[in-house]
Amino acid sequence: MIYTVTLNPAIDLVVRLDGPLQAGTVNRAAGEEYVLGGKGVNVSGVLAELGCPSVALGFVAGATGVWLEQGLAARGLRTDFIRLPAGMTRINLKLKDGRETEINGAGPTVPPEAVEALLRKLDALQSGDVLVLAGSLPAGLPADTYETMLARLEGRGVQAVVDASGALLEQALRCRPFLIKPNREELAQAVGRAVNTEAETEQAARELQARGARNVLVSCGGDGALLLEESGAVHCAAAPRGTVVNSVGAGDSMLAGFVAGWLQSGSFTSALRLGIACGSATAFSLGLAGRSQIDALLAQI
C-alpha cells in the first residue's frame, strides 16, 4: 500500500482575473474554484487516476477540515486524518492574472499528542509499503519531523519518498530515503549555488545522493526531469510541448506518476516517462492531471 502524509493540507482558492491585480482597490474575479489538496493529497489524487490506491494521512481541523475530508471521500480517496482539537485547516489563495501569485495560510498548531497519534499509525506500515512525505510543516512541529518518522520505520522494508526542502529535506537525508524529488530551485538551495544546466543538475543531485538519498528525481519545469539512480546511472527526459496554464500540483503529479510507474513496471525509465507525463498533464490543465491527458502526453515522451 502507498501512504501519503500531508502534515498541513489545504483548500486552495483559485481566483482568475481578466487583467492585472490592482492593489489597494476592489478587484472582480472572472472565475474561481476551490481545490482540495496539499502536496501529499495531490499525490494521492493522481495515484488514483493511475489505478494505484493510497491512504492519505495527516492532520485536519475545524469546519474546513470536515469539508476537506468529505470532498476527498467524494472523489473516492481513502483518508485517515487525525482531527486536531483547535484551529482550522488552512485556505490558500492562488491568484492568476497572467501571473501566478500564491498566499499560503499558516494552518493550525499541531500538539505533541497529535504527532504521537500519527506515529502510531505509521507503526502499522509493513515491508513493501511506500510512504510519501510531502510538503511543509504546520506550526509547532520541529524541522526534524520527517527524520523522526523515517527513523521510526528504519529496518522495516518501507520505501520512503520525500518531497521537501531546506532543513526538512536535509535532516530526512540522514535516514537514506529511497527517493527524494527536489525541483531545480530546491536543489540549488540544498547545495548552496545556482543550478541551471543538465551537468550542474546532475552534479548537485550526486551531492544529495552522497548525503543520503538513494535515488534523486529532479523536476526541471519545461526542461523535463533528471533521475539519478542509486547505481549512479542518470536518465534525462524532455517535457512534451504544451501551454502551461497551472503550475500548482505539477511537481506532486510528477512524483505520483513516478511512484506508480515504478511500482507497476519496476523500471526507472518507465517511471520517469510516466512522471513527466503526469506533471505535464497537470501543468497544461486547470486542475490535477486526468488519465486521458496523461496517456496522450505519455505517447509523446
Nearest C-alpha neighbor of 171 from the set 201, 219, 213: 213
Give residue 240's identity as a one-letter amino acid code: P
| Annotated catalytic residue, options 12, 144, 252, 295 | 252
Largest CA distance in the chain: 57
Which cell numbers hold the place of 30? 472572472
- What is the CA angle 83-282-68, rounded to 5? 15
18 catalytic per annotation: no
Active-site residue set: 252
